[in-house]
A and B are shown apart, each in its own frame.
Chain A
């Protein structure tokens, strides 16, 4: 029987609580930006920082309010922001253009709550561009973007770690100047430890999917990582992931899974698209094929050992390591934070085809995959959409592999019948391979 995750509601409530705080806070600071940034520096300003992050907010709005989402995307396109631009970007900026915002509990608020500042990151060509546009549209919101130059084994390259750390250090000075607040290094260090802890815990939870049956499926993975993305700096977020880790360990110990029928194990590279198209997941589910590992759900806000001796490893990091980190000075805390964030697998692959290939090979091997599903997002440059084309060429002779286009939150951009047909063929390929090796 399918297992129901007990921590589910707590996760949903945490996410919604963060968004409600942003919408309705009467005190504190509203901060906007990519939550794919280092977040702890903001928390040195106090406990009253209310975050809204472009990617998770756009993703959850698409799932909760599909009609509003479509209007938001159209509004951004009509404003000239490029029909081919990132659909997260269009949805998020579209809300600002339409001056209304919707959140995960179904609330739609007229009047976009203006942020006090924008704290974000820059990696692909577009990442900080949408916040520049939002800043401009809202009358010049102060904005600081950290250039998270990455790729390959960036967290082990002292040149890159120093560069990113130097920027964060300047960013903290800027935060003090622009808010006029005293900065607490104690609060900052605490937030850094929480941030790193959540990232490491999520990596450990994902790694439990190596077991058969894998305890979590892609749908649950997509739903359970948002708190790590929305705000991973709080004590509450650490508690959530510690609880979930214990629960999933118990699932493994008792052989339980949220989707116990797992004839085929799939490794997936692509941004989550199945929430927009549940029919795609259904094709797989009906034949007992489950996505047990994906670089997006694992690696967007999760850390693993990464490149070890020239090869990628999806081995998790021992959570105790986090407790022992020396965060006694601001610089030390910044460097540890820079290293962990630079180590995110999704970033390693963006600028490095060899890391991408190495992490795909490792995921296929370590998760005993029967097939590789590649679903590049048409509008996302960081979704390795070109790397995926290369991966198909490399892996198609090794393992059943298919590729079809998606577009994260823009359901208009997908060739659904074509993708369904490819998925059916994918299942046949996996079936044939299994028969051959039997």
Chain B
């Protein structure tokens, strides 16, 4: 039987996230400049304006011990896995590796690439605020982006014009709008697409050339928006936490003994990656980019409103709960990531008020599928009377 167009597209996205270095290498072989980036605070638009395709470095999901002699064991497995990508020379072909000064764990993964994986001569660290809500953050970011732009101009040996930056902003905003439309489909009572497939497309967007990705996603959406629900509606679960690029765990959520719809993922590998826009048409492009990135759903490690100490992210989580109407929250975060459990402790009273129960699952190098399955099924049984799938 011939496959539907949407099936072919999701398979394409899946093939990209299963072998991102293969995809990145193919870009390199086409003669494109390719830069790896390690944190979503990197302003990809500036790279793109310079004619460089940004490709996010994520976990290879292999069981490995190599990084233990480079990074302390109490750093999260995600940072270990990203460091492994450098040490195992999976990305030697990259023209550049870059990150912004983000969390210490990922900063050290970057350092491993620079110190021990041969990237000393082709790396750039973008100084970036550790609290994004301070008033002086935007001007600091603008200056920092200016230095980055200058570095890239030297790297590509040509000036980066405002027109090129504006064009990149528009391409990236288009990606964000398309992804938002895709995620909005999960608000339906009976979504026409599964949560793991939406997550797959979102992950693919972090590896792919945005022009290519946008074309595919536009086509994908055309077929989906008028499509009926994919199956029997199940218990609506939302995931909230840190970086999780492991589709296996998201697939598990929708393949329990009870029907489940994964309807939202609040993480930097999912909605936090794109749930914002850069203002278009501004005269000062770098300030526009800074303002856009400040308006993101904050990473827990950078979230602290001066004067009150409030965590702005909690407001977003509350908003998503109200809009997407999950019946339960799965807190899914990397072991050894401290800001996440701190946020969860502060979120619990809010969830109690909203009447939404939650469960915590800590991620490590491998996913303990059996234990997670038991915990999740027990959670579902607590949530509401559920009928096992036939």
A: which residues have CB within 8 A of B? 79-82, 84-86, 118, 122-126, 128-133, 135-136, 140-145, 147-149, 151, 159-160, 162-163, 166-167, 170-171, 174, 178, 350-351, 353, 376, 378-379, 381-382, 385-390, 393
Contacts and interface: CB of A to CB of B under 8 A. Distances in A.
Nearest to B141: A163
Contacts of B72: 376, 378, 385-386, 388-389
B140 interface: yes
Contact of B338 (A123, A126, A136): A126
Nearest to B310: A132
B114 interface: yes
Given A84-B335, A159-B127, A381-B104, A178 B342 contact: no
A135 B309 contact: yes
A43 B108 CA distance: 37
A379 B70 contact: no
Tell me which of A82, A124, A148 has the highest count of chain B C-beta atoms within 10 A of its own C-beta: A82
Given A122-B130, A131-B309, A386-B70, 11 more contacts: A125-B337, A129-B339, A129-B342, A132-B346, A159-B140, A166-B139, A174-B306, A351-B101, A386-B104, A390-B112, A393-B116
Interface in B115-134: 115-116, 127-131, 134
A110 to B, nearest CB: 24
A112 B116 CA distance: 48
A178 B341 CA distance: 29
Contacts of B348: 80
Given A140-B308, A143-B307, A385-B72, A149 B341 contact: no
A389 B71 contact: yes
Interface string B127-151: 1111100111101100110010000
A155 to B, nearest CB: 14
Given A80-B345, A84-B335, A170-B135, A125 B140 contact: no
B74 A125 contact: no
29 contacts: A79-B345, A80-B344, A80-B348, A81-B345, A82-B342, A84-B338, A126-B339, A130-B342, A133-B342, A136-B309, A143-B304, A143-B307, A143-B308, A148-B130, A149-B128, A149-B129, A159-B127, A159-B144, A160-B140, A166-B135, A166-B139, A170-B134, A170-B135, A386-B70, A386-B108, A386-B111, A389-B72, A390-B112, A390-B115
B105 interface: yes
Nearest to B311: A132
Given A132-B346, A163-B140, A376-B72, A145 B309 contact: yes
A393 B136 CA distance: 39
A133 B70 contact: no
B69 interface: yes
